[in-house]
Amino acid sequence: MQPSDANTIIALRGWHPAISRAEAVSMFSEANIHRTDARRLLIAEGESRWERASIMSGCECVLTEGGIAKWESITALLELIDAKKMDDMAVNCWRHEGKIPVATKDIERQIGGAFHDAGSTFNLENPKHRFGVVLDASAGYVAWGWMVGQGPGKHGWSAMRANKRPFFRPVSLEPRLARSAVNIAAGTDDGYVIDPMCGTGGILIEAALTNRPTLGIDFDPVMVDGSKQNIEWAGVDAEVKRGDATRFDLPDNVAAVVVDPPYGRNSRGDEKLLEDTISNIVRQKIACKFVIILPTEAGTDNLDEAIDCDIAIPGLVIEEAYGIPVHKSLGRVMIIASISPRD
């Protein structure tokens, strides 16, 4: 077994690896992040604030002081792990992308035995330290290290779904998509996250849950009231104002604009609304990142890579686009953009 010389691995969730990679690059901007042959394992060079993993949609956890290698056997893996004395710990092993033919319980037991022999103490219910091992069958890799972040599992996303809120519209974004959009756009910046067409408030909720200052604007008083109901239901702090997004004065300290506009497939009026909103932001000389989520034809998604985008948005430079499946007749595209230099 020949390991890489990396000692920090980022383990991604499987719902959309391409978007999750973009989120990791934005949230761990201090580090140099590289892809591996495994769909959901990244190598990070340098240091970052790895605890940001806990507020990310697409990151299971970061594995520190560890490594990554092709899978051979438990014996070969044990030779690579530095089993040092650690109090109040546990060992967790889980799978990505199919099944490497080994029992995860056997890995946990034998690695736990190595740490026990080094003098470690264990707490299987609520450990202070978790040593993680990921078996990724997409490329036959194993990755290991001390876990920072939640680890595998859904961790309450279903309880936050839009149809659970007191004010609901069928077009509302899925919470994990809204969270990833916020994190990609705002990254490590501590300024405001602005949704200039906030609708039912889903983007605002996810921005506020990451402890970012958050402001939503909507022209429709029904949406403003409904958004406030949803924010109260979520127990978060976000400001919502009734206003015209094409004229509204934004605060000076803006990190990102994230918007899922009321965009009809052939509605020139909705296109004009978005263009005028962006023109208003550009006019105010606010330098920030944009994430815009638009409907598109079904079948344009790619869970592993960015997609080609032939959409032009006046005032913005499109940097990347990601296709998102919705159902058999509809998809979405997440557009990551910045203000055009000429503006």
Distance separating alpha carbons of residues 212 and 191, to the nearest angstrom: 7
Structural domains in the chain (count): 2
**232 and 119: one domain?**
no
Tell me which residue range forms the domain holding 88. Answer: 8-148
Cα–Cα distance list, 85 to 9, 115, 126, 319 (Å): 22, 6, 18, 46
**121 and 24: one domain?**
yes
Which of 98, 130, 148 is where one domain is finished?
Answer: 148
Domain containing residue 317: CATH number = 3.40.50.150
- Check: CB of residue 1 under 8 Å from CB of residue 69: yes
pLDDT at 192: 97
Distance separating alpha carbons of residues 223 and 78, to the nearest angstrom: 56
- Check: CB of residue 9 under 8 Å from CB of residue 41: yes
**126 and 89: one domain?**
yes
Helix (H) or strand (E) holding 66: strand 59-70
235: tokens are: 């127990």
Digitized pLDDT (tens) for each residue of the chain, 343 residues in all: 445 556 899 999 999 999 999 999 999 999 999 999 999 999 999 999 999 999 999 999 999 999 999 999 999 999 999 999 999 999 999 999 999 999 999 999 999 999 999 999 999 999 999 999 999 999 999 999 999 999 998 778 888 888 899 999 887 889 999 999 999 999 999 999 999 999 999 999 999 999 999 999 999 999 999 999 999 999 999 999 999 999 999 998 999 999 999 865 445 568 889 999 999 999 998 889 999 999 888 888 899 999 998 888 989 999 999 999 988 888 899 999 998 765 5
**184 and 206: one domain?**
yes
Distance separating alpha carbons of residues 333 and 309, to the nearest angstrom: 9
For residue 60, what are the contacts with CB-CB under 8 A and spacing of at least 6? Answer: 11, 12, 13, 53, 149, 150, 151, 152
**305 and 251: one domain?**
yes
pLDDT at 330: 85
**31 and 76: one domain?**
yes
Q: List pLDDT tens digits, range 171-214.
A: 788 999 999 999 999 999 999 999 999 999 999 999 999 999 99
For residue 289, what are the contacts with CB-CB under 8 A and spacing of at least 6? Answer: 184, 185, 186, 187, 255, 256, 257, 336, 337, 338
DSSP 175: H
Q: Model's pTM, two decimal places?
A: 0.94
DSSP 260: -
Please name the amino acid found at residue 79.
E
Residue 1 in any domain: the answer is no
Q: Is 91 helix (H, G, I), strand (E, B) or coil?
A: strand
**67 and 127: one domain?**
yes
Domain containing residue 77: CATH number = 3.30.2130.30
- Check: CB of residue 274 under 8 Å from CB of residue 210: no
For residue 82, what are the contacts with CB-CB under 8 A and spacing of at least 6? Answer: 65
**110 and 246: one domain?**
no
Residue 153 in any domain: the answer is no
222: tokens are: 């029904």
99: tokens are: 């099944």
Residue 51 in any domain: the answer is yes
